[in-house]
Structure 1
Amino acid sequence: MKASSAAQGPEPKLFLPSRRDALVLALAGAALLGTALFLRYGIIQNTPLGLACEAGRGGFVCRLRLAVILMFVWNVFGWGALIAAAVQLIRPNVVVFGIGLVFALAGLVLYNTGAAALAIALLLLSLARSGPEAP
């Protein structure tokens, strides 16, 4: 026989960001996505700018270009997203979810697609976890 659901106790509340948190996450994601797309297509893949930077015309844009290139070569975006997603999976929190989302979106746009996609899958799985206990 099946045990009644009342005898088992209340079902745990799943982790789910509030409407305000979801709006902040969406705005942060959209802002980061726009910034990452500008970095990729406006600075990194801009051939005249790349040639000028290689010719020795140093400046803020060339240093930024080099820093972003080194970050995606070292998989900083992918590893950052994976670490944040693993922490989020273990202990759900809106801030950690946002950090993982931002790193994952940057990784998807800036050439760290494998790790970033895995991080997004872990972030989605974290939505099925129980939320933090109410005090």
Structure 2
Amino acid sequence: MKKIPFRLTPYQVQWLLVVGFITVGYALYLRYFAIEFSTTALACDAGLQTLICKARTVATALFKNSVFGITALVIATLHVIRPSIVLLTGGLIAAGLGIVLYNIVLSGLAIGLLILGFARPAPATA
């Protein structure tokens, strides 16, 4: 049984670019305007109940427990075993959030595994 190598179509590459930019953009927004911005942090800690404060609370709880990094690592491992666009998209989202939101080591490892998902043997020469 011949194994078909995992290759992305141009539409899938465009999809991954859009998803990656949106994910990293939202993570940067959350980090610099909700978590590290002192005015917002003080207001949220004082009990303000807005959507950005709730997102700050959820993101803080997730990155303190390394959920972004662990999720990215699990999805990337599954992607190495059985590559698919769904796993690649999920791994990209989790790793993008993890890199920006303080889970750098595990998310960086996951990005390396996602890249290894494209490794395949060279075609045989005749």
Q: Report the TM-score when normalising by structure 1.
A: 0.83
Match of 1:24 in 2: 15
What is the alpha-carbon distance in structure 2 between the residues aligned to residue 49 and residue 55 of structure 1?
10
> SS at the partner of 2:55?
helix
Aligned residues: 121
Look up the equivalent residue of 1:77 and give its one-letter code. F
User: Percent identical across equivalent pairs?
Assistant: 37
Could you tell me which runs of 5 or more consecutive residues in structure 1 were left unpaired when the two chains were aligned.
1-9, 131-135
Match of 2:43 in 1: 52
4+ runs deviating over 4 angstroms: none
Could you tell me which runs of 5 or more consecutive residues in structure 2 were left unpaired when the two chains were aligned.
122-126
Look up the equivalent residue of 2:73 and give its one-letter code. L
Bigger relative contact order (CA 8 A; separation at least 6): 1
Whether 1:40 aligns to 2:31 is yes
> SS at the partner of 2:119?
coil
Match of 2:97 in 1: 106
Between structure 1 and structure 2, the one with the greater Rg is 1
* Cα displacement (A) at 1:59: 2.6
Conserved? CA contact 1:36–1:110, under 8 Å = yes
Match of 2:118 among 116, 120, 127: 127
Computed over aligned residues only, the root mean square deviation of the Cα atoms, in angstroms, reads: 1.7
